[in-house]
Amino acid sequence: MTDDRNGTSMKRRDFLRLLGAAGGTAMVFGAMDAWGLASAQSAEAPPSLDGRADGKRVIILGAGLAGMTSAFELSKLGYETPILEARDFAGGRVQTARRGFTLTEVTGVTQRCTFDHGQHFNHGPWRIPYHHRSTLHYTNLFDVPLHIMVNDNDNAWDYREEEGNPWSGERRRRREFTADMGGYTSQLLAKAVDQGALDQELSEDDRERLVNYLVLYGGLDRDELEYRGVAGRGYDEDPGPGTNPGVPSDPHAFGDLLRNSVINGFRAAEGHTQKNTMFEPVGGMDAIAKGFERAVGGMIHYGQEVVEIQTNDDGVVVTVEDKRSGETREVEADYCICTIPLSVLSQIPANFSTDFAAAIRAPTYATTGKMGLQFGRRFWEEDDHIYGGHTTTNIGTNITYPSYDWQGEKGTVLGYYNFGSTAIEVSAMSPEERIRYALELGKKVHGDVYERAFESGFSVAWHLVPYSLGGWASWSSDARRDHYPRLTEPDGRLFLAGEHLSYMTGWMSGAIESAWLQIEKLHEHAHARGLAGVSRA
């Protein structure tokens, strides 16, 4: 872009990159807003498809969100859509632990949730960004009530144990660090702009706009462009009635902040999917699965484990084992939409083409675990004045506080959400050892009350959960380039769908929108062939 007045090249892309490195995405988006730039959003509704398909049969493998979305939309066009599900409930990884819920891992370890009635823990998906409009399309359609999930709370704690950090072993409010880093980086950039260091990057008008933004964003003195602290970082003594104006707190030293690894996590609540406020269904995330189940429940055949898949020129034959009786049978159809996670599908015998089979094996799956802890007193609210959001640490856990039942008697927190090698190590523990691990970590932040108020715990290690074998698909850049495109196209009459067939892996919208994409392709293929339906097996 060129300034018409002086011909100077304004390299906004380069400047935004510099801004992001210094102050995080909040500063970048603030500058973008000032310049009138915008970002794209998610798909909003399923494709509008013409023509009927009466008599055509599509086997759906898996009653997760992708499978139930496929069945719901295709059945409206006249397709017969039996859903084969190995579990005895619908939803796939969209699960909520509440009293009586049972989970058995591949190791044979079984847990039964003993939370009080009214308490729950979303050990699968647990939040919905406001722009995941495909998910919100169905919560609206199926009358699933939502409440706000507080995804970021600067009044929560941060706790670090690291050499050189002045606050190592000491909990501090996150607001102190976010305010001070925003103030100091704004100060540095505002002075650089004011002194003409970026004259070749920005026009005079843009420089003025940016300095004004940095003054407001960082809480700078307008004349000196200095950061001296802001009310948002908190008071040493809060303002009160009468003649008490409060005692403002002093900012931390910039050099001390740079030695605190907390600053490396400030972007988390500002990313595309990590918004400050998000949504949760009232009563638990599985309310979404139950909404779908009400719509397609009569199509779901539970306890049917897929043991073989064969495709041919005329259709698909799936062999399933009834987990109750042990009997096997073959199910035939014109088409198949397979939503089985690739970590599981890769172990099922099938006559897939060579390149398709190689692509199925290309991604890895996230090793990840969660712990729900029920406490008999909401000490985080009563003692620490924390309502929702996350306490962050570098000791193997973050703690997330519930965004419902404010000021209630009891509450259930997310005691840990771990990944990678930490998740593997913790998953090797017994359920009781996992609880002890979570309590010991939490005591470092909240003290002995964390143990005294504890009542019940429930954990999951998704890489050990049958029919999931991982939290979500993880695609390397090479695998995305070399293998992912192949899986978006059918292998004969078989189409894949699921969060793994999207760039929103790990999110419900990824599963839903992948199904939208594939049913459109299937419907187009079916009408191009004009096939008659096969008989029921």
Can you give the pLDDT at residue 127?
A: 96
Lowest mean pLDDT among 178-192, 318-332, 386-400: 178-192
- Name which residue leads in pLDDT, 309 or 197: 309
Mean pLDDT, range 513-525, rounded to an integer: 96
Can you give the pLDDT at residue 2?
A: 42
- Give the Cα separation of 516 and 42 in Å (integer): 13
How far the first Cα of the chain sits from its last, in Å, is 64
Mean pLDDT, range 295-313, rounded to an integer: 96
Domain with CATH 3.50.50.60 in the chain: 58-88+287-362+476-529
**Pick among 1.10.10.10, 2.60.40.10, 3.40.50.2300, 1.20.1440.240: CATH of 12-39+173-259:** 1.20.1440.240
Burial 319-354 (b: 16+ CB within 10 A, else e): bbbeeeeeeeeebbbbbbbbbbbbbbbbebebebee
Give me the percent of the chain exceeding a pLDDT of 70.
Answer: 90
In the structure encoding, which two tokens stand for residue 132, read together? 């995941």
Can you give the pLDDT at residue 197?
A: 79
Q: Is the pLDDT of residue 400 over 50?
A: yes
Q: Is the pLDDT of residue 384 over 50?
A: yes
Binned at pLDDT 50, 70 and 90, residue 261 comes out as confident
In the structure encoding, which two tokens stand for residue 176, read together? 């102190």
Under 8 Å between Cβ of 441 and 477: no
Can you give the pLDDT at residue 269?
A: 45
Indicate the residue type of 167. W
In the structure encoding, which two tokens stand for residue 165, read together? 């950090």
Task: Give the residue among 398, 409, 400 at the shortest CA–CA distance from 375.
Answer: 409
Lowest mean pLDDT among 19-28, 319-328, 378-387, 528-537: 19-28
In the structure encoding, which two tokens stand for residue 303, read together? 């306890």
Plot region of 405 (φ>0 → left; ψ -120 to 50 → alpha; else → beta): left
Read off the pLDDT of residues 18-44 as tens digits, 9 standing for 90 and up: 555 554 444 544 454 444 443 334 578
Q: Is the pLDDT of residue 265 over 90?
A: no
3-state secondary structure 189-252: HHHHHHCCCCCCCCCHHHHHHHHHHHHHHHCECCCCCCECCCHHHCEEECCCCCCCCCEECCCC
Can you give the pLDDT at residue 17?
A: 52
Indicate the average pLDDT of the chain: 89
**Pick among 3.40.50.620, 3.40.50.720, 3.50.50.60, 3.40.50.300: CATH of 58-88+287-362+476-529:** 3.50.50.60
DSSP helix, strand, coil percent of the chain (3-state; round to 5): 35, 20, 45
Mean pLDDT, range 182-191, rounded to an integer: 89
Indicate the residue type of 534. V
40 CB neighbour count, 10 Å cutoff:
6
| 169 class by beta-carbon count within 10 Å (0-12 exposed, 13-18 middle, 19+ buried) | exposed
What's the CATH number for 102-156+275-284+367-464? 3.90.660.10
Mean pLDDT, range 143-148, rounded to an integer: 97
Domain with CATH 1.20.1440.240 in the chain: 12-39+173-259
Taking CA atoms, 448 is separated from 51, 379, 529, in Å, by 65, 11, 68
Which residues on neighbouring strands pair with residue 135, listed in sequence order? none
Read off the pLDDT of residues 435-489 as tens digits, 9 standing for 90 and up: 999 999 999 999 999 999 999 999 999 999 999 999 999 999 999 999 999 999 9
Mean pLDDT, range 34-63, rounded to an integer: 77
Give the three-state DSSP class for 136: helix
Task: Give the residue among 493, 494, 474, 492 at the shortest CA–CA distance from 484.
Answer: 474
Q: Is the pLDDT of residue 126 over 80?
A: yes
Mean pLDDT, range 213-224, rounded to an integer: 88
DSSP state at residue 107 = T
Binned at pLDDT 50, 70 and 90, residue 114 comes out as very high
In the structure encoding, which two tokens stand for residue 407, read together? 């000021």
- Give the Cα separation of 22 and 72 in Å (integer): 47
- Give the Cα separation of 134 and 131 in Å (integer): 8
Alpha-carbon Rg for the chain, nearest whole angstrom, is 27
Can you give the pLDDT at residue 493?
A: 96
Can you give the pLDDT at residue 67?
A: 98
Q: Concatenate the DSSP letters of all residues of 297-353 into one string.
A: GGGEETTEEEEEEEEETTEEEEEEEETTT--EEEEEESEEEE-S-HHHHTTS-B---
Can you give the pLDDT at residue 271?
A: 72
- Give the Cα separation of 242 and 393 in Å (integer): 39
Read off the pLDDT of residues 75-100 as tens digits, 9 standing for 90 and up: 999 999 999 999 999 999 999 999 99
Under 8 Å between Cβ of 395 and 444: yes
